[in-house]
Amino acid sequence: MPPHEPGVTQPPDIDPEELRREGLVTPPGTDRVAHDGAGRVELAFTVEDTDPARTAEKKVRVPPGVTVFDSASWNGIAIDSTCGGHGTCHKCKVRLDRTEPVTRHDAKTFSADQLDAGWRLACLVKATSDLKVLVPPLTTRPKAATVGVGRQVILRPAVQKRYVKLAEPTLEDQVTDLDRLLAAITDLEPRADLHVLRRLPKVLREADFKVTAVIVDEELVDVEPGDTTEQRYAIAFDLGTTTVVATLLDLVTGTPVAVASMLNKQQPFGGDVISRISATMLDPLALERLQTAACQTLAQLAAQVCAEGEVDPAHVYEACIAGNATMTALVLGIDPEPLGVAPFIMSTPLPPTVLAEDLQLGLHPRARAVFFPALGAYVGGDIVAGMLASGMDRDKRTRLFIDVGTNCEIVLSDGDRIVSTAAPAGPAFEGGAIRCGMRAADGAIEVIKLDASGEQPVELGVIGDVEPKGLCGSGLVDAVAELVKVGLLDSSGRFVPEDVAKELAPALADRLTMIGQERVFVLHRPTVDASPEESVVLSQRDVRELQFAKAAISTGWTLLLEELGLEHRDIQQVLLAGSFGSYLSAASAVRIGLVPQLPVLRIVAAGNVAGEGAKMALLSVRERAGAQTLLEEVTYVELSDRPEFNDRFVEQLAFSHGG
Amino acid sequence: MPPHEPGVTQPPDIDPEELRREGLVTPPGTDRVAHDGAGRVELAFTVEDTDPARTAEKKVRVPPGVTVFDSASWNGIAIDSTCGGHGTCHKCKVRLDRTEPVTRHDAKTFSADQLDAGWRLACLVKATSDLKVLVPPLTTRPKAATVGVGRQVILRPAVQKRYVKLAEPTLEDQVTDLDRLLAAITDLEPRADLHVLRRLPKVLREADFKVTAVIVDEELVDVEPGDTTEQRYAIAFDLGTTTVVATLLDLVTGTPVAVASMLNKQQPFGGDVISRISATMLDPLALERLQTAACQTLAQLAAQVCAEGEVDPAHVYEACIAGNATMTALVLGIDPEPLGVAPFIMSTPLPPTVLAEDLQLGLHPRARAVFFPALGAYVGGDIVAGMLASGMDRDKRTRLFIDVGTNCEIVLSDGDRIVSTAAPAGPAFEGGAIRCGMRAADGAIEVIKLDASGEQPVELGVIGDVEPKGLCGSGLVDAVAELVKVGLLDSSGRFVPEDVAKELAPALADRLTMIGQERVFVLHRPTVDASPEESVVLSQRDVRELQFAKAAISTGWTLLLEELGLEHRDIQQVLLAGSFGSYLSAASAVRIGLVPQLPVLRIVAAGNVAGEGAKMALLSVRERAGAQTLLEEVTYVELSDRPEFNDRFVEQLAFSHGG
């Protein structure tokens, strides 16, 4: 839905001392009493500064087993490092209040006295119980970027470049080309792939042994003549079932260079994941065609952002793809059938990293394409990316994350435990099965205000400021919510009788009419004398569709609240994810019961968090590791086998008039 | 040289108690006083048996840092294991006399009391100083095979299969397909590649969740319906500059199924490595053509051995390729130019493992092709394979390893230190630059006996028992050696004057004649009245060629002896590697000074040790690790920049009459 693209934040280079900031990521420990919730350990950091007056104390809480380096990094605390936490750069020195095992890297880095005093490399110490950590003053000021829901990311991309000037070999110095190169890269220990070895001898000699090594994660993927360190790019893809968004990132600065979006070329196979899975079950060639269509979508966007950003695609060394489980399976060519039929089984929670070339993305020949892990067949990599971008695991508040769509993903965290589920909401929010439903495109009514007695009884917000042609998801929610508010819909979701309507809403009652046997509410007449059939209307059946959709969703979060022993009022924040969430009226969502009955200020549009998560994974290997950790932290709750599901669902069908 | 192929040993399944055997691999410690040479640690094993009377004590010495498991495995001591030393099967339990760090795998395997008592997993303990190790009785009897120069290899191939019957998923059990499969494989923890994930959902369901997992090293490469555990094959390639040999191995039994050899299809580009490297420097397309030619050679042989062995190529999951540095670079498509010009630089000592498909070998689509590491541009993977097969690093004796060829590789070990070098012997041993020289094919004189006064003054051994057509390498050495013996060649390598000849060797003197201005010795006249030009002769210039070749080689081992402070008589064994070495007369080699002046019984033909090393690497991941260790153990000595090289070379030109 291109008109709904959230804006791109321009992340500035920031002072590490400014890393702590207001927003959704609360620096833990300073203004709250640390509580010993199950499954977390507390790390108390003392962050020194060259100016002793600026030394700061920060407490953070992380799942046991996370490294001290990650614990700091995820909470905006900068520690010197160039290798990205592989134990190879020997820079992330910290002093602990406890004796931890000495690794070979520690032994190389510290004297015996220092080891005795508790000095260790932060990336090699796993926090298994509470720990005090002294961080010495930074020797270099790290760059950071603002990404996701106010998340500060300290830049440490998987894609690294090192410019080296090597001594030419002689009979006295017959070190091999590769070892000569690797010896000059002091802070990383990459493996070389065949592609590099094939080019290495010629490139070294043609460039007089002055070359730039390109390293992705732990692989040396290329050697480029001369100094190319400033050309270092990656592309973040939000691979949606409907819309695909690409963001070209400059990894040197952490800033987006260009953004583009388009409809997923898989559309001809069906609008939702089930129809695309069905296609593969009916036609043995469909899987390959769907894969090709997805890859072509990504490739076309990649070409577009590179052209717009005036970046050579050969300088794009990594792509990160956030998509739901079906989109991920299809783009990789993995048989999706078990995702579509009970008991809904994924092939793997951790899709493998592949070559971008395998997907024919047209980037550097050895560029990698990485995927997000998935929690379940219907809580996929896009949601894990969204959790990463919204800091679901790093915030002490009780927060509810809802990504509204045909399949609606719901995540609930009480600051210690995180549970998630999926609710089958059906196509109503995308305009499907709705009489005048349409996508959020030009002509769609997206905002509706009703005034039972005022001068302007119906006020419409229309995308593109053109003649209204139909109703998109947010307009549908508004329409129902406003009709409930003015009393034209009763709590069971039925249009009230004509006489009741005239009494409650005299200015609107004449809009309640019939099409055939069905009652409808006319939202917009193209001409004064247009018939209801020619108008944009909301039908009784449309209301039922929305009721079922919202009941599915509210049953989902109700059961998750029960799972954690919480009540509605415990929720401190509701995040509405995705472009749909950005345009949904919080008041309307509350009124129809799509979200819990809470003050609207607690309901926040989180934007395209999947795409933001993909950007974070490209900007920081630590954040990428955080996405993997989520897989262990989040409990997936399957609703369809819950005996209480149907009871709760029926309870949730009604509209409350309390909002 | 196909007629010279050494026979293939049929390795039997053997009792582990029989693993210790006479031969080139001496079980250390039992009959010798252990000496504390630099750079070795001693492990004293107590190997228990279910019958206490059969408990055995064995001491072995290995480079520091080798694991206890490898130390045992390399010395024929069996320890329970199924994972191949990755710490995952938790079976290789041993008790140490010292407290070693406790890994997480140890903590899972042993009780606190057991850990206190010194129990550890052998594959996770590195021997950094002398250690006593108790090995409990085996629970399963390991299979072993005899490979190489009498080496006993305990079978533990990188290619593993596990047949599993999985529970079908339900709504209560939504574990992903991959995790379900991996959970059923208790002793290995492989990663899955995309190829498997694409097939996995369908194969599992079509095979009713009864499948065989195929694992190569640490990768899950396939899932096959039903139980295919008996179909497990690999191919060992000896990729020679001239001849390529393929051996199809049954990895279940460790036995060779079929062997085939053919000329390297790169021959049209030149007979030796330098001419092939030159080809790539003259023609930008030559590298690709050379690569294709090498791959086609391997593919044709692979098809041939599979056909002969009646094995489906899709059941061949690994190939091991032993070749010199140039052959390895060319088959991988790596620019070989720096190998061919001073200062002779390799791209890498450790060629990467690639997919056999990348080389179009026609095996399983995800089969791996692994290569041997190389010590230098002219002591390549074939020699490392040969060292592995001949146990150069596991034998306490002082041994000299010589692979005679255009480039002659020489390795010397004193039981502690190993040094190696390469000597440019030129083409004489392959019949090049020799007047009547030819390859070791039908019609080549390979054995010559001269009798200065006897009834049959010249006795010839001819390949194929046909009319002699020329002289191959071993015949050349015999010819010169015999002429020196009877006195027709003086110690400077000159044919003696006619009168001296008549006096010393009356029965042979008439064969000394002239062609043009050059003196020649007639070895064979096709007819009684044939002219010297029509006969098979050895010319004065031929003698000079051989003198230069043998001087290059003997200068090599002379300098290596000096490097280790040894003398000729210290050498306890000379191994002549390669097919040429197999057919060379030890007595003649001693007489012309190609090998040190030693009793001929100390000179042993080692056969095709490169191919045997490749087989060992396929049969045992422990042996493969041993090849990597050689890279650290062996010091490569570059001769061409030695100031003393020329002096030594001149000294070595002469023939001694002492033999």
What residue type is B79 in one-letter code? I
pLDDT-based confidence at residue B29 (cuts at 50, 70, 90): very low
Strand pairing partners for B172?
none
The helix, strand and coil proportions of chain A, stated in percent and rounded to the nearest 5, come to 35, 25, 40
Which of B171, B179, B338 is closest, CB to CB, to A177?
B338
Distance CA A182, CA B514 (A): 60
The reported pTM is 0.83
Q: Flag whether pLDDT at B24 surpasses 70.
A: no
Task: Name the nearest CA neighbour of B546 among B584, B501, B597.
Answer: B584
Give yes or no for B346 touching A (CB within 8 A).
Answer: yes
Q: Do A233-383 and A391-427+546-653 share a fold? A: yes
- For strand B144-147 and strand B159-165, is the pairing parallel, antiparallel, or unpaired? unpaired
Task: Name the nearest CA neighbour of B119 among B138, B132, B106, B104.
Answer: B106
Distance CA A141, CA A133 (A): 20
**Token pair belonging to A551:** 């009941």
Q: Flag whether pLDDT at B468 surpasses 80.
A: yes
pLDDT for res A657: 52
Please give the C-alpha separations between residue A512 and each of A195, A438, A529, in angstroms, as whole numbers.
70, 21, 15
pLDDT for res A75: 77
Higher pLDDT, A519 or A87: A519
Encode pLDDT of A326-370 as tens digits: 999 999 999 999 999 989 999 999 999 999 999 999 999 999 999
What residue type is A611 in one-letter code? G
pLDDT-based confidence at residue B77 (cuts at 50, 70, 90): confident
| Helix B621-633 vs helix B381-390: crossing angle, to nearest 10 | 110
Which of A170, A192, A333 is closest, CB to CB, to B343?
A170
Task: Name the nearest CA neighbour of B92 among B58, B128, B57, B67.
Answer: B67
Q: Are B298 and B290 in contact (CB under 8 A)?
A: no
Distance CA A164, CA A176 (A): 16
Encode pLDDT of A522-534 as tens digits: 999 999 999 999 9
**Token pair belonging to A557:** 């979060």
The DSSP line for A375-409 is SBTTB-HHHHHHHHHTTTTS--S-EEEEE-SSEEE
For chain A, the domains span: 28-74+79-137, 159-225, 233-383, 391-427+546-653, 438-536
Distance CA A333, CA A547 (A): 36
Encode pLDDT of B575-588 as tens digits: 999 777 878 889 99
Task: Name the nearest CA neighbour of A246 among A267, A222, A263.
Answer: A263
- For strand A144-147 and strand A151-154, is the pairing parallel, antiparallel, or unpaired? antiparallel
- For strand A316-323 and strand A233-239, is the pairing parallel, antiparallel, or unpaired? parallel
Encode pLDDT of A131-168 as tens digits: 999 999 888 777 877 777 777 888 999 999 999 999 99
Options 3.30.420, 1.10.150, 3.40.50, 2.60.40; CATH for A391-427+546-653 is: 3.30.420
Q: Are B372 and B614 in contact (CB under 8 A)?
A: yes
pLDDT for res B104: 84
Q: What is the mean pLDDT of chain A?
A: 88
Q: Are A45 and A72 in contact (CB under 8 A)?
A: yes
Encode pLDDT of A159-206 as tens digits: 999 999 999 999 889 999 999 999 999 999 999 989 999 999 999 999
Give yes or no for A191 touching B (CB within 8 A).
Answer: yes
Q: Do B177 and A376 touch (CB under 8 A)?
A: no
Encode pLDDT of B428-438 as tens digits: 888 888 999 99
Q: How far is B285 from chain A (nearest CA, A)?
A: 14
ipTM of the complex model:
0.81
Q: How far is B641 from chain A (nearest CA, A)?
A: 7
- Which chain A residues in 546-575 lie under 8 Å from chain B, judged by CB atoms? none
Q: Flag whether pLDDT at B15 surpasses 80.
A: no
Q: Which contacts (CB < 8 Å, 24+ apart) does range B545-548 have? A: B545/B426, B545/B428, B545/B433, B545/B434, B546/B428, B546/B434, B546/B476, B546/B477, B546/B480, B546/B592, B547/B493, B547/B653, B547/B655, B548/B426, B548/B428, B548/B653
CATH architecture for residues B159-225? Roll (3.10)
Distance CA B127, CA B45 (A): 12
Distance CA B103, CA A286 (A): 48
Q: Do A335 and B174 touch (CB under 8 A)?
A: no
Spell out which residues of chain B touch residue A191, defining contact as CB-CB under 8 Å.
352
What superfamily does domain A28-74+79-137 belong to in CATH?
Answer: Beta-grasp domain (3.10.20.30)
Q: Do A173 and B351 touch (CB under 8 A)?
A: no
Distance CA B281, CA B336 (A): 9
pLDDT for res A53: 86
Distance from first CA to last CA of chain A, Å, rounded? 29
Spell out which residues of chain A touch residue B640, defining contact as CB-CB under 8 Å.
171
What residue type is A192 in one-letter code? A
pLDDT for res A3: 33
Distance CA B408, CA B6 (A): 20
Q: CB burial class (10 A; 0-12, 13-18, 19+) of residue A43? A: buried
Range from A7-16, B417-426, B447-456 carrying the lowest mean pLDDT: A7-16
Residue A550: enclosing H or E segment and its boundaries? helix A540-563
- Chain A interface test: which of B102, B204, B348, B368 (most A C-beta within 10 Å): B348
Strand pairing partners for A144?
A154
**Token pair belonging to B525:** 């006249």
Q: Are B586 and B118 in contact (CB under 8 A)?
A: no
Encode pLDDT of A79-109 as tens digits: 888 877 778 888 889 999 988 888 888 888 9
Residue with tokens 């995927």: A371
Give yes or no for B31 touching A (CB within 8 A).
Answer: no
Options 3.30.70.141, 3.30.1240.10, 3.30.420.480, 3.40.50.720; CATH for A233-383 is: 3.30.420.480
Q: What would the CATH number be for the domain defined by B233-382?
A: 3.30.420.480
Q: Flag whether pLDDT at A28 surpasses 70.
A: no
Which of B176, B202, B352 is closest, CB to CB, to A197?
B352
Distance CA B322, CA B304 (A): 19
- Which chain A residues in 150-189 lie under 8 Å from chain B, judged by CB atoms? 169-179
